[in-house]
Amino acid sequence: MSDVSPSPALRRGLGDHIILAAVLVLSVAMVAPVLWVIGLSLKDNAELMANPNSVFHPPYIIDNYIAIIGTSAVFRWIVNSLIVSVGLTFGTLVLASLAGYGFARLEFPGRQVLFVIVLFGLAVPEQAVLVARHQIFSILQFHNTYQGIILPGLSNAFGVFLMTQYFRAIPKELDEAALLDNASRFKIFWKVLLPLTLPAQATLGIFTFLGSWNDYFWPLISATRKEMYTLTVGMASVQSNFAQSEGVGFLMAQAVFAGLPIFIVYLFFQKYIVTAVSGAAVR
Amino acid sequence: MTAEIDIRNVSKRFGSLTVLEDLSLKIPAHEFVVFLGPSGCGKSTLLRMIAGLESIDIGEIFINGEPIGHLPPGQRGVAMVFQSYALYPHMTVRQNMAFGLQNISVSSKVIAERVANAARMLEIGHLLDRKPGQLSGGQRQRVAIGRAVVKEPNAFLFDEPLSNLDAALRARTRVELAQLHQRLKSTMIFVTHDQMEAMTLADRIVVMNNKKIEQIGSPMDIYDRPATRFVAGFVGTPQMNFLNVTALATEPSGVRVECGALAVVAPFDAAAVGRATMLGIRAESVSVVRDGEGDIGATIDVLERLGDRSLVHARLADGQSVVANEAGQTRLKVGERIGLRFAGDKAHLFDADGVAFHVREAVS
C-alpha cells in the first residue's frame, strides 16, 4: 500500500505558501490605509464632501499640496517637530551615554541604588507626574518653548539602561589597555568606548527620534500657542475643526506632507531601524 | 630600556579572599621571568599589580629602585599584552599601535618611524591599515605585541598571550617571543599555566600556588630539583609518578626506600629518613624491561604512542599506578606483564608537608 501522506518537502512547501499568503494579506492591510490617505489627498475637497467614494476615480489633483506650500502652518509645525526631535535625540544620546558609562564603569558610593532608582523610572507612567511637571514648568515659564517640550524626554530611563548594559558588555581589558596607553578617563570614554557603542546609539537614537516625532501627549499640554505646535498637535488641531472648513483632502495632504521627513529617515536608516527593532524584539 | 623589578612583601585581598600573601621577588634587568601556576594561584593578579591595574594592599613594588604603587598604569614604563589581546576594534592596526604614543604627545614623525620598525620586526607591515576584526588570531597577537613594542617600555608584561592560539601557532610564537627578548633585551614577565611555555621561554620560572611562591629557579632546576611535591607534580608531562613510602632505612650506599614490594637505594639526603612519606620519579627515569627482571613487576593498563616515544601506564600488584617511558614505537600490548626498572638516583622524596629531599649532588 502506498503512503498517501505528503512528503516533508511538500509539507514545507505548503507551509511556506501559507506564510506567504498571510504576509501578503497583512502587507495589504498595512499599505491600504496609506494608499487611501494619498488618494484622498489628491482629491478636491468639495468632491469628497459630495461623494467620499470619488477617491476611486479621477480626476486627481495636486491643489491641496499647493495650498499647503502657500498657506498652511504645517511647515512651521514640521520645523518645530524637527527641532524638538533632533534636540531630544541628541540630548538623550549624550546623557544616556554618559550615565551608561558611569553606571557600567565608575565605582562610586550608591551606584547600585541609583541604578535601581533609574530603572524604577521605567515603571512610572507620564500621566502620574503630569500635574507636578506642568506646575513646575509654569513657574519656570517653560511652556510654549522648545526646552519645555524637550526637557521631560531627556530623563530617558530606557536609554540609560540600554547604554549601561551595552557599556557593561564591552570587555574591561580595553579600558585597561587604554590606561596602560596613558589615556585619561575621558579619553577612554570618548576615543575607545563610545565608538564601540555606535550600534546601541543608533538603536536609541532611532527610537528616540521616532518616539519624539510621534509624541502627542506632552506637546499638547505644553505648547498652547499655534506657532509652537509640533506636527502631531497641529494636525490634531486641524482635524478637530468640526466644520471641516479646511477639507478632508487638504487634511490628508497635510498628513502625507508630515509623513515625508519620517519617510526620509526610514529611507536612509532602514538598515539600522530593522536591526534596532529586531534587536529590541530579541531583548 | 630595561627594568629591575623588586616586589617586597606584597599582599592582596579581594574582600575576604586573600589572593597573595606576603610575597617577595626580585627580577633583575633583562631577565625573562615566567610566573607559572594553576588557575587562581594569584599569578595574573601579581602581574596586574606590577602593571598598576590592581592596587597593592600591603607591601610595595619598585621599578629601577623607585616605588611605583602610587603611579597610574601609563606612567610605570611597562607595556602589557593581554590574553584577549584587547585591541581597539574600531581602530586600524596602525592606529592601535600609535594610540599610546599619541597620548604622551610623541611627534607624528617618531610615531610613524616606531610603528614602521615594529611592523617590520613582527612582519605585520601589510596589515597596518586593517582593523582587528579582519585579522586572524595569530595576526592579532602580533599586533598586540607590536602595540607594546612601539612604546619602548622598560618591561613587557604578558598575561597568557598564547592561550588563544592553536598548538602549531603557539609553538611558533613561543620561538618568536624568545627571539624578541634576545633582540630587545628588555625585562619580560610572562604569566602562564602551561609548563611547556614556561620551560621553553624562561630564564627563571616562578612557580606559584595557593597565594605564594613555591619555587624560583631556572627551568632545569625546577624540573630536576623540585622544591615541593606541588612543583614536582605540576611541572613535567606526564606528571611525576608518586608512590607511598612504607619503609626508610640508612645503608652504607645511601638511603633504602621501600614502597610496598619496590625497594630503591640511592644517596638521598639523610634528613629524609624518618620524614619522607612519598617517593617521586619521572616517567623517563622508569624503564620497561622483561617480566621477571627489573625492580618490580607490573601489568600494562594503557599505552600512549606518541611517535618518538611511548608512555606505558602500568599497575603494580598493590594497585598503585606508574607511568614509564619507552623510546620509539613500542610493541608492548595492553594487559601484558612487564618489569619496571627505577633509576633511583633520579628519584625524589617528599615529606607529609610536601617538602622535597633530593639525591645528594656528586662533588666533582
pLDDT tens digits, residue range B149-176? 999 999 999 999 998 888 888 888 888 8
pLDDT of residue B283: 95
Cis amide bond preceding A59, omega within 30:
yes
- B298 and B315 part of one domain: yes
User: Mean pLDDT over residues B234-261, rounded?
Assistant: 90
Total domains in chain B come to 2
pLDDT in tens, B313-354: 999 998 999 999 998 888 899 999 999 999 989 999 999 999
User: Mean pLDDT over residues B197-226, rounded?
Assistant: 94
Q: Residue B87 gets which letter from DSSP?
A: -
Question: What is the pLDDT confidence band of residue A277, given thresholds at 50, 70 and 90?
Answer: low
pLDDT in tens, B54-78: 999 999 999 999 999 999 999 999 9
Determine, yes or no, domain membership for B225: yes
pLDDT of residue A40: 86
Determine, yes or no, domain membership for B266: yes
**Average pLDDT for chain B:** 92
pLDDT in tens, A212-229: 988 988 999 998 898 899
- B42 and B65 part of one domain: yes
pLDDT of residue A243: 56
Closest among B242, B271, B244, B247 to B257, alpha carbons compared: B247
Residue A133, pLDDT above cutoff 70: yes
Q: Is A181 on the interface with B (CB under 8 A)?
A: yes
Give Cβ neighbours of residue B93 (< 8 Å, ≥ 6 apart): B87, B119, B124, B127, B128, B129, B130, B131, B132, B135, B143, B146
- B344 and B301 part of one domain: yes
Are residues A159 and A212 in contact, defined by beta-carbon separation less than 8 angstroms? Answer: no
Cα B142 from Cα B119, distance rounded (Å): 9
**What are φ and ψ of residue B296, in 5° steps?**
-160, 150
- B83 and B22 part of one domain: yes
Cα B190 from Cα B34, distance rounded (Å): 5
**B185's grid cell:** 633585551
Option in B74, B86, B100 nearest A171 (CB): B86
In 10 A of CB B279, how many CB atoms? 27
- B12 and B100 part of one domain: yes
Question: What is the pLDDT confidence band of residue A53, given thresholds at 50, 70 and 90?
Answer: confident
pLDDT of residue A11: 67
Q: For position B219, which CATH number holds?
A: 3.40.50.300
Q: Is A107 on the interface with B (CB under 8 A)?
A: no
CB contact under 8 A, B53 and A176: yes
User: Mean pLDDT over residues A109-137, rounded?
Assistant: 90
pLDDT of residue A202: 87
Domain around B293: 241-351
B174 vs chain A: nearest CA distance in angstroms? 22
- What region, left, alpha or beta, does residue B59 occupy, with left being phi > 0 and alpha being psi -120 to 50 degrees? left
- B172 and B299 part of one domain: no
User: Mean pLDDT over residues A1-19, rounded?
Assistant: 69
Determine, yes or no, domain membership for B362: no
Question: What is the pLDDT confidence band of residue B364, given thresholds at 50, 70 and 90?
Answer: very low
A200 vs chain B: nearest CA distance in angstroms? 15
Locate the chain A residue with the closest alpha carbon to B79.
Answer: A180
pLDDT of residue A247: 77
In 10 A of CB A119, how many CB atoms? 14
pLDDT of residue B65: 94
- B230 and B306 part of one domain: no
pTM score = 0.81
CB contact under 8 A, B73 and A176: yes
Q: Which of A30-44, A52-66, A116-130, A167-181 has the lowest mean pLDDT?
A: A52-66
Residue A283, pLDDT above cutoff 50: no
* Burial bucket for residue A229 (CB in 10 Å: 0-12, 13-18, 19+): buried
pLDDT of residue A1: 44
| Residue B272, beta-bridge partner list | none
CB contact under 8 A, B99 and A181: yes
| Residue B299, beta-bridge partner list | B315, B337
Cα A203 from Cα A273, distance rounded (Å): 7
Are residues A105 and A97 in contact, defined by beta-carbon separation less than 8 angstroms? Answer: no
**B173's grid cell:** 610564537
| Residue B324, beta-bridge partner list | B312
B77 vs chain A: nearest CA distance in angstroms? 9
Show which of B208, B234, B260 is a domain's final residue. B234
Residue A240, pLDDT above cutoff 60: no
B199 vs chain A: nearest CA distance in angstroms? 27
Give percent above pLDDT 90 in chain A. 44
Q: What is the ipTM for the molecules in this complex? A: 0.86
Are residues B278 and B242 in contact, defined by beta-carbon separation less than 8 angstroms? Answer: yes
Q: For position B280, which CATH number holds?
A: 2.40.50.140
